[in-house]
Amino acid sequence: MKNDKTAENVVETQELTKSFGADVAVQSLSMYVPRGKIFGFIGPSGCGKTTTVRLLTGFYKPTSGTLSVLGKDPAAFSKSDQGKIGYLIQQFVLYPDLTVWENLNFAASFYGVSPFRRRRLNKLLDFVELSGDRNKLARDLSGGMKRRLSLAATMVHNPELLFLDEPTAGIDPILRRKFWDYFKELQADGHTLFITTQYVGEAAYCDLVGVMYEGRLLMIATPEGLRKKAYGGDVVGIKTTEGMSFEQRNQVEALPFVHGKVKVIDAQENDVIVDEASAAIPTLMEWCQAQNLNVETIEEKSPPFDDVFVKIIETEAEHD
């Protein structure tokens, strides 16, 4: 897989592999994460996302391959290096018998944050909207509040790089959206975020997306690039009053900027894969007029990421 490496990458891996006995959890993973970006690591449950995060945080040692996080092998991290990383674990691991404030205070001491930190902790509580719940015991919090508390605890030492392992798992769509707003704010503050998720739709919020499947990284791209790669180009939908004949569809497929077969949606509508939608639409319009086809609509389609993901997996299966 081709990576656009630059000196600004905070995470880089080459042929990274992690096996547990005969089971290969992560296989030949090569990727990069540029500084200041939100990197979405997407894939179904059990595809190796958490193992990858654990490799990148130094929790696991790789079976083979190389990796560099903030310019160093995590195995050789000093305390100072570890202090530059924030790690949000999938499950809630803070203390149920401590209040929100006490848990946050514990996390701050735990990371060696100066005792004069009240302002910072208050700011964090405001950020995750838990200021009014500071005296609540953690065990009395809802699932979403627990995730927000965990996020605040992850950021308590103001890390450069945040590894967030499924931060939105199991929470409602409105709160999920709010989380992504938090992440955007963190990015705006200069943090780099490495976020795993099994919600494929969340790819849209990321700057770069890596798609994992059965321990392999299938591709890395921008969300739009992902669509393009999945379908082989932009998707243009053409709806005509009369519908296209078999002969006309063959003619479309023969156009130089069109890739693959024309997909028949119904009697009137067809989808065409093109190099660049903005350039192809005027040409396709002219072609329709030349064919005496009355165009009702012609526009670029953005397939949902769920479909994109399925398409990628199908393509991968065909290759196998």
Partner 1 sequence: MIRFFIRISSFLGKEMTEIFRQPLLILTLVLGPFLIMSLFGLAYPDQNRALRTTFVATNPDAFQNELGLFTEAYSSTIVDQGVETDKDLALSKLALNETDLVIVIPDAPFETIQNNQQAELEVYHNEVDPFQTGYIQTIASIYVNEVNRRILQTVTEQGQADSGSLQSGLETAIAKTQELRQAVSPEDANATTQAAELEKDLTDLHENLSTFRSLASGVLVNPFSVKTSGLSGIQFTVTGFFAPSVIVLLLQHLSITFAALSIVRESRSGIMELFRVAPITAFETLVGKYLSYLFFEIVLAGIITGLAIWLLRIPILGPLQDYALAVIILLFTSLGVGFLISLISQTDTQAVQYSMLLLLASIFFSGFFLDLRLMREPITALAWSLPATYGIRMLQDVMLRGSSVPPTIFQGIALIGIVLFVVDWFLLKRKMES
**Which residues make up the interface to partner 1 (CB under 8 A)?**
54, 57-59, 79-80, 82-83, 85, 87, 89, 91, 93-95, 97-98, 102, 105-115
Tokens matching residue 236: 């243009």
Which residue lies nearer to partner 1 by CB, 112 or 304? 112
DSSP 222: -
Least distance from C-beta 18 to partner 1, angstroms? 15
**Distances, alpha carbon 60 to alpha carbons 25, 78, 154, 191, in Å:** 12, 16, 19, 24
Which residue lies nearer to partner 1 by CB, 101 or 205? 101
- Using a 10 angstrom Cβ sphere, with 0-12 exposed, 13-18 middle and 19 or more buried, the burial of residue 69 is buried
Which residue lies nearer to partner 1 by CB, 91 or 294? 91
Least distance from C-beta 78 to partner 1, angstroms? 8
DSSP lists the bridge partners of residue 34 as 9
Least distance from C-beta 146 to partner 1, angstroms? 13
Strand 161-165 and strand 192-197: pairing? parallel
Taking the C-alpha atoms of residue 234 and residue 42, their distance in angstroms, rounded to an integer, is 22
Residues in contact with 122: Cβ distance below 8 Å, sequence separation at least 6, in sequence order? 131
Tokens matching residue 205: 């919020």
Least distance from C-beta 223 to partner 1, angstroms? 29
Which residue lies nearer to partner 1 by CB, 112 or 173? 112
Residue the block writes with tokens 């090569």: 30
Least distance from C-beta 148 to partner 1, angstroms? 17
Which residue lies nearer to partner 1 by CB, 85 or 145? 85
Which residue lies nearer to partner 1 by CB, 153 or 277? 153
Taking the C-alpha atoms of residue 211 and residue 309, their distance in angstroms, rounded to an integer, is 8
Least distance from C-beta 77 to partner 1, angstroms? 8
